[in-house]
Chain A
Amino acid sequence: MEVFKYKKPLSLMSKSKRFGMLSAVLLVISLGLIFTKGFNYGLDFAGGTLVQVHYDQKAPIDKIREAIGKDQNYENASVTYFGNDNEIIIRTKHSSKSLGKDMGDTMRELLKGTGNFEVRRVDMVGAKVGSELREKGMMSLLLAILGILIYVSFRFEWRFAVASVMALVHDVTIAMGAVVLFGIEVNLDTLAALLTILGYSLNDTIIVFDRIREGINTIKNPNLGEIIDESVTQTLSRTTLTSLTTFFVVLTLFVFGGEIIRGFSFTLLVGVVVGTYSSIFVASPILMWLGFSVKEFREKEAEKLKREKEKEKMRAMYENGTV
């Protein structure tokens, strides 16, 4: 089977303004959401206690709320269904330091008489650990971006590195925007998803850039726009197909992986789509805007080659003892 067969390169660069606009709009909306509505920090980052209770039939949520409300400490607790009607989650901002009776134990007593139930999960994160985790999380995102920037600079020209990192920031920002928009709880696994997006969306960008790098050396035409068009067209099938395979598995994870990792799989799902889009339509135009010059690049390459040759010549002369 073959889906992508282009005899002629697509003229993407001529439409780059349109995609630029689209990305700009998405970015503005995402940033707007992040700064106005803000993240819905989950237990890991905000601290508090979460109790998951499983009933052997539909959970009587009103009765549960009433039962919990009897204890003043839990008046503001939220009770929601989790995944299905038999499962509920109780959340509060409280966290107790005592090892003895904790919220799970209290809930067991309060919920007596609401039906046959089993407390299946009690997670508690103290405020101090929460803020520590948040700090570490930010740090890890920045470090990963920095590491990638250094590596790509080392492997490519610096403009490639900057362009790929800008595309990355674009992807992560839009994925964050989607997380805020859909009210997904931000926990450690959401962070893991964002880091995976970093690594993954770069994969696609690098495949394209690798081809552009190759194109610069092999395509005679010195017009960068046309080189990019040709390279992107040639790699279009690759970029789309690799994303497709990943999209398949992330989708199965999202649908069948269970409620607990839904935040993780949702974030990845958005990330894979945005990452693919940005590799094709965003990263390369940035390269052009950064003023990448094919001529300069070729001259530099030629000079590098020349220097190496001269060095070799010198060495040969030295070894022959003619200096």
Chain B
Amino acid sequence: MKTLNFRVVLFVFALIFGVVFSIPSIMQSESGKKITLGLDLQGGLHMLLGIKSETAIESRTKSMAATIKYIFDDEEIIFDDLRIIDGKKITFELLDTDDVAKAKELLKKELPGTVLNENGLKFSLEMTAEEIARTKQNAIKQAVDTIRNRLNEFGLAEPTVAKQGEDKILVEVPGVKTQEDEQRIRELIARAAHLQLMAVDEDRAARVMTMNPNEAKSYGDVILPDVNTPEKYLLRQIPVLDGSMLTDAKVGFDKNNQPVINFSLNGQGSKIFGDFTAKAVGKRMAVVLDNKVYSAPVIRERIGGGHVQISGNFKLEEAHDIAIALRSGALLAPVYIMEKRSVGPSLGADNIKASSLALALGFVLVVLFMVLYYGMAGVIANVALIGNLFLIIAVMSLFGATLTLPGMAGIVLTVGMAVDANVIINERIRELLHEGKSVAKAIEDGYDKAFTAILDANVTTLIAAVVLWAYGTGPLKGFALTMGIGILASMLTAIVGTHGIYQWVLPKIDRKKLGLWFGIKTEGAK
């Protein structure tokens, strides 16, 4: 027998490689790189979120206004009529000309990235265009981080949160068991968790139920509803401080054993809070979360230490989720759903069942056909086909690729197309045998002549796969990937591999038994 040739050695290596690296995926073992199942196969939640980045500008402006108020008070600069116009412009008036230079210097130091316009003693402050763009970019980046933190803290296995394109966020959460859980996750993600401590405007508070929002605005106030009751509050528009100075939030219980959320402020926050409460004894301060008033207790004395409590008739679950949201930080800008796909675990299991059945049946049909039609040549092609399947799984495992339902379809399709190369080669060999060529010559010429056709055909299919991969989203990428890998692998298995096997077994091929070897009657042979 002829010694092993390089083609068959290469094929055997590829086969070993394929089998070894597909084991972790096939056995679903703990260790080793393996294919992850797509959300459509294992069930889960896929969302594409948009972000209202304008809101980030508004809240940034608001917190800048709070800063201005704080530093002016701190430096004893007398000012009046501090307001926010259209959510992006801050105006104020200084009363003392002597303060102008000092105020300008302070603002320049404390609020970089802004432009200050002055008209006499009236000033207006706005963010620069670059600062606005930067803030928006930040808002997206921060939203991605925040959502990721929240999902991680919620205790979910391997959620994916990533920025997509310029201004979108992709969220994928596998293994969501029920629709109720899913709703809770969505609400956790969506929670802005924008915490503000705001002073109640005690001078006008009595008239709040009859006041309209525009009137409130003219006083520099804002009307916000209570979270549980129809009551409304008239609050100073510029908050005392906001959640950005929060360091921790935990669920606790009050005297009546009701869940509450305790949070702590950082050094600066504690100082602002202490100073404010010292000045506002006897007045009320509202704890506002996402523009709803949770409580508005009367300040009895200066509160130091920076520990604040939110109570609001929470359910324990709700308190838990709010605490997570507060800890992970506020969303600078709210997010909304652009696209959502959720698949329950039972449907995922059904999908796996159906597509595996199709794969198995298609495979059996093709294998049977090849043996019936081509005899041993068909068996050789089938060996290559099995090698091809292992290679696809191995390569996908190594990349840690995701197998989706269309991906399964891609594998099924590859089974049908990978044998095409062998059909082309076998037909060519048969043709040459009919012409009376020797077996060895027929095989060599057959491979030689079939190669260009197979190459061209595969490259064009590959072009379609690459385009689909580049333009497709989610599951479609999976389809393109499996098909692309399948085509490339088939070049190795169906062309090189089978060629090697022929060369290896050539001495055994009997010119008189072409029926067994190539499925043709030997009449053509001389």
Q: What's the interface size class on A, roughly?
A: 35 or more
Instruction: Indicate if A152 sits at the interface (CB-CB under 8 A).
Output: yes
Q: What's the interface size class on B, roughly?
A: 35 or more
User: Which residue of chain A has the shortest Cβ distance to B428 in the bound complex?
Assistant: A238
Give the A-B pair count, Cβ closer than 8 A. 243
- Are A242 and B519 in touch, CB under 8 angstroms? no
- Are B336 and A246 in touch, CB under 8 angstroms? no
Q: Which residues of A contact B63 (CB under 8 A)?
A: none
**Would you give the shortest CB distance from B380 to chain A, in whole angstroms?**
15
Q: Which residues of A contact B452 (CB under 8 A)?
A: 210
Instruction: Indicate if A124 sits at the interface (CB-CB under 8 A).
Output: yes
Docked CA distance A108–B181 (Å): 13
* Partner of A192 from B340, B374, B472 at Cβ < 8 Å: B472
Instruction: Indicate if A216 sits at the interface (CB-CB under 8 A).
Output: no
Instruction: Indicate if A91 sits at the interface (CB-CB under 8 A).
Output: no
* Partner of B464 from A144, A204, A258 at Cβ < 8 Å: A144
- Are B406 and A189 in touch, CB under 8 angstroms? yes
Q: With contacts A210-B453, A246-B420, A249-B412 known, is A123 near B340, CB below 8 A?
A: yes
* Interface of chain B residues 365 through 387 with chain A (CB within 8 A): 365-366, 369-370, 372-374
* Partner of A249 from B50, B183, B341, B416 at Cβ < 8 Å: B416
Docked CA distance A152–B461 (Å): 12
**Would you give the shortest CB distance from B55 to chain A, in whole angstroms?**
14
- Are A265 and B409 in touch, CB under 8 angstroms? yes
Q: Which of A66-74, A126-134, A287-295, A299-307 contacts B (4 or more CB under 8 A)?
A: A126-134
User: Which residue of chain A has the shortest Cβ distance to B430 in the bound complex?
Assistant: A2
- Are A140 and B467 in touch, CB under 8 angstroms? yes
- Are A96 and B337 in touch, CB under 8 angstroms? yes
Q: With contacts A245-B369, A261-B406 known, is A100 near B427, CB below 8 A?
A: no
* Partner of A126 from B339, B460, B461 at Cβ < 8 Å: B339
Instruction: Indicate if B252 sits at the interface (CB-CB under 8 A).
Output: no
Q: Which of B6-14, B73-81, B353-361, B504-512 contacts A (4 or more CB under 8 A)?
A: B353-361
Q: Which residues of A contact B47 (CB under 8 A)?
A: 99
* Interface of chain A residues 275 through 292 with chain B (CB within 8 A): none
Q: Which residues of A contact B374 (CB under 8 A)?
A: 1
Q: Which of B155-163, B321-329, B475-483 contacts A (4 or more CB under 8 A)?
A: B475-483
- Are B346 and A54 in touch, CB under 8 angstroms? yes
Q: Which of A23-31, A113-121, A312-320 contacts B (4 or more CB under 8 A)?
A: A113-121
Q: Which residues of B contact A235 (CB under 8 A)?
A: 427
Instruction: Indicate if A182 sits at the interface (CB-CB under 8 A).
Output: no
Instruction: Indicate if A10 sits at the interface (CB-CB under 8 A).
Output: no
Docked CA distance A147–B463 (Å): 7
Q: With contacts A189-B476, A199-B465, A248-B366 known, is A258 near B355, CB below 8 A?
A: yes
* Partner of B369 from A137, A192, A248, A264 at Cβ < 8 Å: A248
Docked CA distance A103–B370 (Å): 50
**Would you give the shortest CB distance from B296 to chain A, in whole angstroms?**
25
Q: With contacts A124-B339, A207-B424 known, is A253 near B412, CB below 8 A?
A: yes
Docked CA distance A126–B168 (Å): 13
User: Which residue of chain A has the shortest Cβ distance to B363 in the bound complex?
Assistant: A249
Q: Which of B119-127, B184-192, B196-204, B219-227 contacts A (4 or more CB under 8 A)?
A: B184-192
Instruction: Indicate if B258 sits at the interface (CB-CB under 8 A).
Output: no
* Interface of chain B residues 407 through 456 with chain A (CB within 8 A): 409, 412-413, 415-417, 419-420, 423-424, 427-428, 430-431, 449, 452-453, 456
Instruction: Indicate if A104 sits at the interface (CB-CB under 8 A).
Output: yes
B interface residues with partner A (beta carbon < 8 Å): 40, 47-50, 179, 182-183, 186-187, 189-190, 335-344, 346-347, 350-351, 354-355, 357-358, 361-363, 365-366, 369-370, 372-374, 405-406, 409, 412-413, 415-417, 419-420, 423-424, 427-428, 430-431, 449, 452-453, 456-468, 470-473, 475-476, 479-480, 483, 519-521
A interface residues with partner B (beta carbon < 8 Å): 1-2, 52, 54, 96-102, 104-105, 108, 118-126, 128-129, 133, 136-137, 139-140, 143-144, 147-148, 151-152, 155, 188-189, 191-192, 195-196, 198-200, 202-204, 206-207, 210-211, 214, 234-235, 237-238, 241-242, 244-250, 252-253, 255-258, 260-261, 264-265, 268
Known: A102-B183, A102-B186. 11 other contacts (CB 8 A): A2-B520, A97-B336, A100-B187, A123-B342, A129-B339, A148-B460, A188-B472, A200-B417, A245-B366, A249-B412, A264-B406
